[in-house]
Amino acid sequence: MRIAVFEDNKKFRESLEFIIVTTADMELCGSFEDTTRLQQRITALQPDVVLMDINIPGKNGIEAVKEIHDHFPQVKVCMQTVFEEEDKVFASLCAGASGYILKNTPPDKVLQAIREVAEGGAFFTPSIAKKILFNFQQQPEKAEYIRLTEKEKEVLKLLVDGLSYKMIADKVNVSFHTIHSHIKNIYEKLHVNSKGEAVAKAIKNKLI
């Protein structure tokens, strides 16, 4: 597992380097104090995971993660910061970071974070996770949980994709009438009475 570090604080960079080089299944493939020549470096080093300081000289961490995400989508990025700057947290997550850890995170957690993101998962320190959670819980009206059956979800999904009753019936291999019936039930559960509303509600409430 190849790791690259971008961190301007010498002390902290060296401690990250130490953590990585002393770990059997990890290889430190690069360590930098700024984000200049970012793309060349990534191209040359081919890291699996990048540890990126959010306040780094050159282009800042958020722009850097965006650039990496756009040009090297297979490279996972884990952000690190001293402070829990709310807006930067969300900005970097939106920019494509897979993890977010505070710099007081103990070494074993750092390694855990690296492994999780390398495997395609995501890792947040609890306080960051809490912030993210809060962001969800702010949205009040989503509170109503709509219980759709599996079939109904399947049909709704296809409805959102823009398929007609006929096409859905064909796809699911049941009759047109069955689809009709399912959709009537879906509308009832969603409290809507048209395709448009159903699609809107499905997407907004992430029912699909």
Partner DNA sequence: CACCGTATCGCCATAATTGGGTATACGCAA
Partner DNA sequence: TTGCGTATACCCAATTATGGCGATACGGTG
Could you list the residues that contact DNA (CB under 7 A)?
57, 147, 149-152, 164-166, 172, 174-178, 180-185, 187, 193-196, 198
How far is 40 from 152, CA to CA, in rounded Å? 49
- Give the pair of three-digit tokens for residue 31: 């360590």
Question: Closer CB to DNA, residue 93 or residue 168?
Answer: 168
**Ranges within 137-156 binding its own copies (CB under 8 A):** 137, 139, 142-143, 145, 147-148, 153
Residue 121 in contact with its own copies, rule: CB under 8 A: yes
Cα dihedral 4, 72, 203, 133 in deg (nearest 10):
10
Residue 120 in contact with its own copies, rule: CB under 8 A: yes
With CB under 8 A, what is the number of residues at the site for its own copies?
Answer: 58
Torsion sign across C-alpha atoms 113, 106, 28, 72: positive
Residues at the site binding its own copies, with contacts judged by CB under 8 A:
60, 62-63, 66, 86-88, 90-91, 93-96, 98, 116-117, 119-127, 129-130, 132-133, 135-137, 139, 142-143, 145, 147-148, 153, 159-164, 192-197, 199-200, 203-204, 206-208
